[in-house]
Amino acid sequence: MSIVYIGIGSNLGDRKANCMRAIELLAGKGIVVRKESSLYETDPWGDKNQPKFLNMAIEIETEIKPQDLLSLLADIEKELGRKRSYKWGPRVIDLDILLYNSLTIDEDDLKIPHPFMHERDFVLKPLYEIAPDVKHPVLNLSAGELLQKL
């Protein structure tokens, strides 16, 4: 079994319900949700002219391989009504693989660890809440150490 950390965000519609529904859908697809962070209201990143986000992180256990998990997350986003408009635009739901065990993957459509996670407090705060000592496999710093550097 692999331990994976997923970032969840929403800034359209019922933001809390969108995040909770995404977790429910994941739990029904061969995934054990082990930990959930609190919800954090945050300013948008990139395009500032949009509603605030609710963000959180979860720790899951799964046998699903990284590429298949990415596809599953995209399917759940679509099921919840996400329509891709433009980069860093508003969204009903956003599901990102932050860490997958200690793997590093650099493919066109999949980058693990998430390439911007160490720059974003809305990722690091919820991750720190549920896994303060989890290490970034490239930077070799814990979630707590990364958060302190921001």
120 is catalytic: no
Query: Which runs of E-coded beta strand occur in the chain?
Result: 2-10, 31-36, 40-42, 53-62, 94-100, 105-106, 111-112
Please identify which of the residues 91, 106, 120, 121 carries the catalytic annotation: 91
Please identify which of the residues 94, 106, 109, 120 carries the catalytic annotation: 94
**Angle, CA of 17, 19 and 25, to the nearest 5°:** 95
Please identify which of the residues 96, 108, 109, 133 carries the catalytic annotation: 96
Query: What is the per-residue burial (b if ≥16 Cβ within 10 Å, else e) of 61-98?
Result: ebebebeebbebbeebbeebebeeeeeeebbbbbbbbb
Q: Which residues contact 102 (CB under 8 A, 6 or more apart)?
A: 135, 137
Please identify which of the residues 82, 109, 121, 133 carries the catalytic annotation: 82
Nearest to 93, CA basis, from 103, 104, 78: 78
82 is catalytic: yes
94 is catalytic: yes
Catalytic residues: 82, 91, 94, 96
